[in-house]
Amino acid sequence: MTISLSDRTAVTRNKIETREARIGIIGMGYVGLPLALLFSEERFSITGFDIDSSKVGTLNRGESYIVRIPGAEIQSAKKHGFIATSDYSRIAQMDVVIICVPTPLSKYHEPDLSYVTSTVSSIAPHLKDGQLVILESTTYPGTTEEVVVPLLEQGNPSGLQVARDEVSPGFYVAFSPEREDPGNTDVARRDIPKVVGGCGPAARDLASTLYATIFNRTVPVSSPAVAEMTKLLENIYRCVNIALVNELKQLCMRMGIDIFEVIDAAKTKPFGFQAFYPGPGLGGHCIPIDPFYLSWKAREFDFHTQFIELAGQVNLAMPYFVVENIVEAMSQQGKSLHGSRVLVLGVAYKRDNDDLRESPSLTIIELLQKRGAQVEYNDPFFPVVGHGRKYALDMTCTPLEQIPEFDCVVIATDHSQYDYADIVGRAKLIVDTRNATKGIAAPHIVRC
């Protein structure tokens, strides 16, 4: 007897609602691991997939490698059946597969979907009828339908296709953008609405049912492309506004105006204004990258996103602006940057975070080194900084006790662990890119 698609969806939906669905999450990073823990709290059977054997081993020992996730949460999940593996053949045992892998930029600032395509190609041979596959990785509109679906269909030896109607067998595919905000303790993960777009109503509804078990609100949309564009809009909105205040900061510095005082005054308006703050550049996985994803895709439609690209360029230029201000500040003290010792405080892209992705601090370090400075760093979250996609520093954390030995201290990330009054008191020169020394008056502080 042939089972109709509606019967298949009913079976899958029932498994989800009764917490019997087995969920595989691919990519145990800053997005995938928190998601796995949320599902585990709801007593789902969770398997975490990752190609990094060290991550797999750490998780299976009940330990964490992400600062904001305590080991106790991993241990609790293990008690509910959570396990990590690098064996993609176990995909065949899953009812739901969620892909949370990186989508960085290439060296030419074009989308690099290699992690997505390699992951999809790895799971395609193990797909089975009735499975739900969801992509969460941030990407350009069209990725799910134009890249993921064809790879899944072509790589499946059983010839299964995406189920799009009420009569065809196959697997379901949806896109639901991650909305993680590392370090944000004001909004619980469950309170962040989950946008869901499916390849057909059945996929959308199943994905919505799944996410409704861990999020207090789901937001179904008409297609994966709408969901993909939603994510880009959210982050480009922030990118553009940060670029605006970064540019205004440069103007205010020439005019002798404190941009932070201006922002504090402007945000007293109870409507029509949201405060954004300048800094040494943008970091993290999404905000620095998303404008370039959309601009690249827009060219396919003979459309040039001038406004968005300009914002990206302004933010990319900020580390260079910081370095020029360091040069000028040292010159005012009669010193050359070449041969001087510079200590960079904070290499994470964000306060109180252990994430190096796209961090402007790394760019600042490399630019200073190219100008002949002897650069060291301090960051409470990183005892060492080795090699990454865009850096090869091989540096170890310098103790704060050595601050008096440096010609210049650059505050690049304003971690709350730092005692800024003490740092100012012991440093010869401070270049503050984050307004971390607000309220401290000293002639050797340069804010930029």
152 with 283, same domain: the answer is: no
For 207-240, what is each residue's pLDDT tens digit? 999 999 999 999 999 999 999 999 999 999 999 9
Distance CA(159)–CA(152), nearest Å, equals: 10
- The C-alpha atoms of residue 162 and residue 159 are separated, in whole angstroms, by 10
**Does residue 417 sit in the same domain as residue 287?**
yes
Q: From the candidates 239, 286, 408, 448, which is the catalytic residue?
A: 286
Looking at the fold, whether 71 and 170 belong to one and the same domain comes out as yes
Stretch 382-400: mean pLDDT, rounded?
88
pLDDT reading at 290 higher than 90: no
Asked whether residue 252 is domain-assigned, the answer is no
72 occurs within a structural domain: yes
Looking at the predicted structure, is the pLDDT value of residue 4 above 70? no
Q: Which of 181, 180, 161 is nearest to 172 (CA)?
A: 161
Tokens 């003490």 locate to 422
Percent of the chain with pLDDT over 70: 97
Which of 168, 199, 222 is the last residue in one of the domains? 222
- 303 & 398 share domain: yes
Same domain (yes/no): 314, 195 = no
Q: Say yes or no: 198 and 304 in one domain.
A: no
pLDDT at position 382, please?
A: 95
252 among known catalytic residues: no
d(CA 413, CA 356): 11
Whether 274 maps to a domain, the answer reads yes
Q: Say which residue the tokens 């800094």 belong to.
A: 279
Taking the C-alpha atoms of residue 414 and residue 402, their distance in angstroms, rounded to an integer, is 19
Query: How are beta strands 384-387 and 408-411 bridged, if at all?
Result: unpaired
Q: Are residues 265 and 212 in the same domain?
A: no
Residue at 239 is within a domain:
no
**Is residue 247 in a domain?**
no
In a domain, 191, yes or no: yes
Domain that residue 297 falls in? 261-447
DSSP reduced 3-state for 67: coil
pLDDT of residue 418: 98
Q: Are residues 436 and 309 in the same domain?
A: yes
Q: Decide which of 198, 222, 246 is a domain's last residue.
A: 222
- The per-residue pLDDT for 181 is 78
Residues paired with residue 387 on neighbouring β-strands, in sequence order? 392
Length of the chain measured in residues: 448
Q: 133 and 14, same structural domain?
A: yes
**Could you tell me which residues are beta bridge partners of residue 105?**
111
In this prediction, residue 2 carries a pLDDT of: 46
End-to-end CA distance of the chain: 72
**Statement: residue 5 has pLDDT above 90:** no
Three-state DSSP at 446 gives strand
What does R_g of the chain's alpha carbons equal in angstroms?
Answer: 24
CATH code assigned at 332: 3.40.50.720
Q: How many domains does the chain have?
A: 2
- Helix (H) / strand (E) element for 198: namely strand 194-198
- One domain, residues 190 and 331: no
Cα–Cα distance measured from residue 191 to residue 333, given in angstroms and rounded to the nearest whole number: 51
> What's the pLDDT tens digit per position in 303-328?
999 999 899 899 999 999 999 999 99
DSSP label at residue 64: -
Nearest of 183, 189, 159, 186 to residue 171 by alpha carbon: 159
Number of H helices, E strands in the chain: 15, 15
Residue 235, domain member (yes or no)? no
pLDDT number for residue 389: 66
Written as one string, the DSSP assignment of 253-298 is HHHT--HHHHHHHHTTSSSS-------S---SSSTTTHHHHHHHHH
Rounded to the nearest 5°, which phi and psi values hold at 412? Answer: -100, -30
pLDDT of residue 1 exceeding 70, the answer is no
What is the C-alpha separation between 60 and 36, in angstroms, rounded?
A: 13
Mean pLDDT lowest among 240-249, 278-287, 410-419: 278-287
- Orientation angle between helical segments 306-316 and 290-298, nearest 10 degrees: 150
Are 419 and 435 in contact, with CB atoms under 8 Å apart? no
Confidence grade of residue 180 (pLDDT, cut at 50, 70, 90): confident
Is the pLDDT reported for residue 103 higher than 70? yes
Q: 3-state SS of 3-57?
A: CCHHHHHHHHHHHHHCCCCEEEEECCCCCHHHHHHHHHHCCCEEEEECCCHHHHH
110 touches 89 (CB < 8 A): no
Domain contains 27: yes
End residue of a domain, out of 168, 196, 222: 222
Q: Are residues 300 and 218 in the same domain?
A: no
Question: What is the mean pLDDT of the segment spanning 193-215?
Answer: 96
